[in-house]
Amino acid sequence: MTGPPVALVGDGALVPCVGGTQRPYLSLDAAASTACLPSVHRRVDEFVPWYSSIHRGAGYKSQFATAAYEDARRAAMAFAGRAGRDDVAIICRNTTEALNHLAYRLRLAPDDVVVTTVVEHHANLLPWARVATRRYIECGADGTFSVEAVEAALDEQPHPRLLAVTGASNITGWLPPIEAIIGAAHRRGIPVALDAAQLAPHRPMPEDADFVAWSGHKMYAPFGAGVLVGPRQAFSAGDPFLAGGGAVDLVDLDEVVWTDPPDREEAGSPNVIGAVALHAAMDALGDVGWPSLVDHDRRLARLLRSGLASIPGVRLLGPSLEVETLPVAAFTVDDTPHALVAARLAAEDAIGVRHGCFCAHPYLVRLLGLPQADVVAYRDDVRRGDRSRMPGAVRASAGINTTEADVERLLAAVARIASGEEPPIEYRRDPHTGDFGPDPAAAPWNLDLGSHGSWCSPG
Ligand SMILES: Cc1ncc(COP(=O)(O)O)c(C=O)c1O
């Protein structure tokens, strides 16, 4: 495989657009989920005839499938830079499940402190709230924080049990100085849990993070597998997150002897095809190599962010243009609701982006600089079932298949909307979801998804 851009399965598919036309679909939503790499698709196709029960089947296919699954586990360890360490890779559904799993397994007490940041995705905020007391690192108006701010939070008393931090923001693409942050935590004897959901497809993992979680569907393996990596000893005692078959050595009606990790942590029948797909994706990224992946990301990030920032009426959220980010950009358009911008990009230009709060409400409120009174008002509205005032932004995010021409196509479409050009058709807002949709008469193809649309509030 050569360097990016690398085409993904389904690229160039024609989708219906306003005016009865069909246009090639442009996904700029890689930060949410990516399409499948052809090599991942091929590996899954080749494996499907050999799929069988794993770990507990005596037949040849069971042995074959077990070997494929365990190979994927070893590949995940190597991908996280753990080869040769006494760590385990637990294969789960996604980053959310991995972080919930970890939060349960660390056996924290309610007054134990977990230091985390206001930049986090809900997946790295909410699991800690259930099991411990959170202490937050605040960000500035540009959505970043310094290593000194991390150190100050780590030095407060009581001494924290864990630092839970993201490797990259899913809203701004900001890359916190993760090596320095991990170093600061380790100098204080504090382990680090890294949310690598956004980092994994774009940058090598920092090898020193104690626990790492990531998802296959954000790295071109959309078959439902994710990974939690951490030291074996952290999973060697105590009850596993899920109790059931495959996690035990002995069971009697009133007794259980759990088996060793990682099997102890994977009760139930695992997602073997997801693991095979994830393995293929990690191999594919390895074949391309980090230098060309990072070079591709940097070129796209610069073009995307500087292009958006230069459009009159567009406000780019997050750090200044000099700061390195992933090719992820969140923006607002003056006088046009975020939901309408996203709906127009979809219906008029066949461009798929995300809008709303991106499952990181606290961070978005800070990036937008919302006064507290506005925050209280929209929250009251949402409690009453009206999401029309839900704040938000539009996010464009690029991946291995994105070209510079794709970014230019987005910039042209955003510039047209920001110029105040009247929409060619009418869009209507559903106050319950806060979403806009084209008038069905003008866009008969548009699927009525009801409450399952692109709305942001449940994020
Ligand atoms: C930074 C970050 N963390 C966690 C998650 C949750 O990932 P998943 O939905 O795969 O569980 C996401 C998803 O967007 C994310 O961007």
List, for residues 376-420, the tens digit of each pLDDT value. Answer: 999 999 899 888 888 999 999 999 999 999 999 999 999 999 999
Task: Determine which residue's CA is closest to atom 7 belonging to ligand 1.
Answer: 95
Pocket test for ligand 1, best of 359, 361, 363, 395 (most atoms within 8 A of CB): 359
Q: Are residues 138 and 165 in the same domain?
A: yes
Measured from the CB, is residue 96 less than 6 Å from ligand 1? yes
Q: Are residues 319 and 263 in the same domain?
A: no
Rounded to whole angstroms, how far apart are CA atoms 59 and 106?
A: 37
Reported residue count of the chain is: 459
Percent of the chain at pLDDT > 90 equals 89
pTM of this structure: 0.96
Domain boundary among 259, 287, 315: 287
Residue range 332-354, pLDDT digits in tens: 999 999 999 999 999 999 999 99
Across the range 259-276, mean pLDDT stands at 97
**Residue 215 CA, closest ligand 1 atom number:** 10
Task: Look up residue 371 and give its two tokens.
Answer: 């006064």
CA of 449 to the centre of ligand 1 (A): 23
Q: Is 373 exposed, middle or buried (0-12, 13-18, 19+ CB in 10 A)?
A: exposed
Measured from the CB, is residue 100 less than 6 Å from ligand 1? no
Pocket test for ligand 1, best of 166, 178, 198, 361 (most atoms within 8 A of CB): 198
Count of other CB atoms within 10 angstroms of residue 55: 16
Measured from the CB, is residue 197 less than 6 Å from ligand 1? yes
CA of 58 to the centre of ligand 1 (A): 37
pLDDT at 271: 98
Residue 46 lies in a domain: yes
Q: Are residues 228 and 117 in the same domain?
A: yes
Domain boundary among 240, 271, 287: 287
Measured from the CB, is residue 27 less than 6 Å from ligand 1? no
Rounded to whole angstroms, how far apart are CA atoms 3 and 289?
A: 8
Q: Are residues 166 and 88 in the same domain?
A: yes
Q: Are residues 274 and 294 in the same domain?
A: no
Residue range 67-88, pLDDT digits in tens: 999 999 999 999 999 988 999 9
Residue 35 lies in a domain: no
Domain boundary among 287, 314, 349: 287
Residue 109 lies in a domain: yes
Q: Are residues 238 and 375 in the same domain?
A: no
Across the range 35-56, mean pLDDT stands at 96
Give how far Cα 325 sits from Cα of 69, 147, 195, 358, Å: 34, 17, 16, 17
* Sequence letter at residue 360: A
Measured from the CB, is residue 166 less than 6 Å from ligand 1? yes
Percent of the chain at pLDDT > 70 equals 97
SS3 38: helix
Residue 393 lies in a domain: yes
pLDDT at 380: 93
Q: Are residues 355 and 240 in the same domain?
A: no
Q: Is 446 exposed, middle or buried (0-12, 13-18, 19+ CB in 10 A)?
A: middle
What range does the domain containing 432 cover? Answer: 14-30+289-452
The mean-pLDDT minimum among 171-180, 232-241, 384-393 falls in 384-393
Q: State how many domains the chain has.
A: 2
The mean-pLDDT minimum among 206-215, 223-232, 333-342, 431-440 falls in 431-440
Rounded to whole angstroms, how far apart are CA atoms 79 and 228?
A: 12
Pocket test for ligand 1, best of 215, 358, 456 (most atoms within 8 A of CB): 215
Rounded to whole angstroms, how far apart are CA atoms 193 and 213?
A: 8
Q: Are residues 177 and 324 in the same domain?
A: no
Could you tell me the maximum CA-CA distance found in the chain, to the nearest angstrom?
71
Q: Are residues 314 and 242 in the same domain?
A: no
Measured from the CB, is residue 172 less than 6 Å from ligand 1? no
Q: For 325, which DSSP code?
A: B
Residue 231 lies in a domain: yes
Residue range 426-443, pLDDT digits in tens: 999 988 888 898 888 877
Q: Are residues 264 and 354 in the same domain?
A: no
